[in-house]
Chains A and B, each alone.
Chain A
């Protein structure tokens, strides 16, 4: 983890020092709270599982499909279109727009649809925020059995090398906490790493566009300034400290404990695969591919938004 692009004020820099790796080089004079925070951060870092592709358990996924089906069908009235666009075999990079705070219904609906459509036998991994996988909660340990791995280039490369389908949400925590009035906007925050990954691994990109997730609560602000102020960006790779109105908390700061999502209708559309090299030449520019993909996904999201008559109801 790197702490780049952070313009810290002199006073803050003196207090909070990010502990790299094992955290052995620790400055002495610090007050209790920052020390505690950086200790937690270091522990969280250590807990991030490295290569855990083997933890995916097809039998476990199969047994959980009915539960996911209940959630996806009854609560979210999920609808997934165009799964036939995903190549039947071989590695593929599924790139989605992400919504719904820390309780992301689009992931549940899509993971169910993918596993039901292609069978649990097809290796399928999802990249998740490091923090999600390092929290000491038993429920999150189950995520790894679903094939959720920590978001790192190493894990992504390993999954694609193994011929798996890999689902990434480049927007991540930035996009997932966008205000509800920006719900119909694809916003990756300029993150292009996934395109480099697809080019390196020479795999097709399949855009997965979803709508409805940002209607599961009233998201008010990302709280980027708040996150910078508390140095969460350097310690936990969290660039946001979102504020929302959500069940059952009322005002919900951080969304660390999750919330009860409103039963918004989730519609997901899978688009035909894009092979960057065949469309943009042997050595494509990242920006060009990125802009093309953004346009494509935004157009699809606009079309899905036009279909919708009411928020939440769909």
Chain B
């Protein structure tokens, strides 16, 4: 099952990229994610591993994931090493007016789980989609407010100086 969500952020692509790739900030905007820990020597970039968990229904599911695609500042994807099968992707594209289109995708499932697996994927989909949508809304708010605060600080500094 593959679910996705899209949003537009009023910030340049590099700024959004720096936030979505920073593992220390993931928990601050990802909805339903209860764990996102670095599990490798390198914390960002190709080959970086994280231990993640996402609350779906009565369980927290996830496992060890590894970053397998890294195209700065446009694309970044991971697949699961252990735990449920998953493939996630952040797609960032510049939009007119200095904005950025952000798409977050997640394909998930358990290979070999048959009919019950299919049913579980369908039933979990609205919840997972909701998590992705809320995550992007929170990401947009985080990026835009941070930018506003920085501009305000700069303005105050200029006025004082």
Contacts and interface: CB of A to CB of B under 8 A. Distances in A.
Contacts of A59: 112
Interface residues of B, number: 24
Interface stretch (B15-23, B53-61, B146-154): B53-61
A112 B116 CA distance: 14
Interface stretch (B40-48, B90-98, B117-125): B117-125
Interface residues of A, number: 25
From DSSP, what is the main secondary structure of chain B's interface residues?
Answer: mixed
Given A62-B110, A65-B113, A116 B59 contact: yes
Given A119-B82, A119-B83, A121-B82, A67 B120 contact: yes
Interface stretch (A23-31, A38-46, A72-80, A301-309): A72-80
Interface string A29-70: 000000000000000000000000000000100111111011
Contact of B120 (A62, A70, A117): A70
B63 interface: yes
A113 B57 CA distance: 10
B116 A83 contact: no
B82 A69 contact: no
Contact of B58 (A66, A77, A119): A77
A72 B60 CA distance: 12
Contacts, number: 75
Contact of A66 (B60, B62, B120): B120
A109 interface: yes
From DSSP, what is the main secondary structure of chain A's interface residues?
Answer: helix
A119 B59 contact: no
A14 B113 CA distance: 54
Interface in A189-220: none
B117 A66 contact: yes
Contact of A113 (B58, B63, B116): B58
A112 B58 contact: yes
Nearest to A80: B58
A112 B59 contact: yes
Contacts of A77: 58
A66 B119 contact: yes
A80 B56 CA distance: 12
A69 B60 contact: no
B112 A69 contact: no
A66 B83 CA distance: 12
A70 B60 CA distance: 13
Contact of B59 (A62, A63, A113): A113
Interface of B: 53, 56-64, 82-84, 110, 112-114, 116-117, 119-121, 123-124
Given A73-B56, A116-B61, A121-B82, 17 more contacts: A62-B113, A64-B113, A65-B110, A65-B113, A66-B116, A69-B120, A70-B116, A70-B120, A70-B123, A74-B57, A78-B59, A113-B58, A113-B59, A116-B59, A117-B59, A117-B60, A119-B82
13 contacts: A62-B113, A63-B110, A63-B114, A66-B116, A69-B57, A69-B59, A73-B58, A73-B59, A83-B60, A112-B59, A116-B60, A116-B61, A119-B64
Interface of A: 59, 62-67, 69-70, 72-74, 76-80, 83, 109, 112-113, 116-117, 119, 121
6 closest residue pairs by CB, A with B: A73-B57, A78-B58, A66-B120, A67-B116, A116-B59, A66-B117
